[in-house]
Amino acid sequence: MEEDHLNESESIITLRIPLSHENLREELNLFKELKVFFKEYNKPIEDIDFIIRNLESQIEIFSNDNHIIPDEEKIMKQIVKHPYFKNPGDYPIRLLTILKYLKKKGFNMHYKDIDIYIDNLIQKVDGVKKVGRGLYIKSR
């Protein structure tokens, strides 16, 4: 719902719900349940539908049997060898920096949605916390 269409007795509430990429199917179920309640109380569901479509597309990408997924173990070993992860600083590292590093090391970065795949791998590294969109920080 846009602010232009609001009458004086209405306002917009913004929710920030962190997404767990560990189990996208559970996240998808959460938003589907939320959609049921929104419908029940006659609330607009366009934003929830958008989130549901995005989650379904992410699940489809990695559950498709025909989709070739790069070797997780080899990529994880190389990510850990990155100078930032060997000697972390007080600043975050960008996903783009890690993707460029992996490409320089000879990994094929031409897979569909490789950024989502690498994002999930980076978050599996011990001590790494996602602090923003495409930004990670590792505790010492």
Q: What is the mean pLDDT of each run of 10 residues along the chain (140 residues)?
A: 60 76 74 88 87 79 56 89 88 92 86 81 90 87
Question: What pLDDT is attached to residue 122?
Answer: 92
Cα–chain center distance at 103: 21
Q: Which amino acid is at 31?
A: F
Residue 23 is predicted with a pLDDT of: 67
Vertex 25 angle, CA 21 and 28, to 5°: 90
Query: Tell me, what's the pLDDT at 136?
Result: 92
Q: How far apart are CA 48 and CA 81, in angstroms?
A: 39
pLDDT number for residue 2: 47
Residue 1, pLDDT score:
42
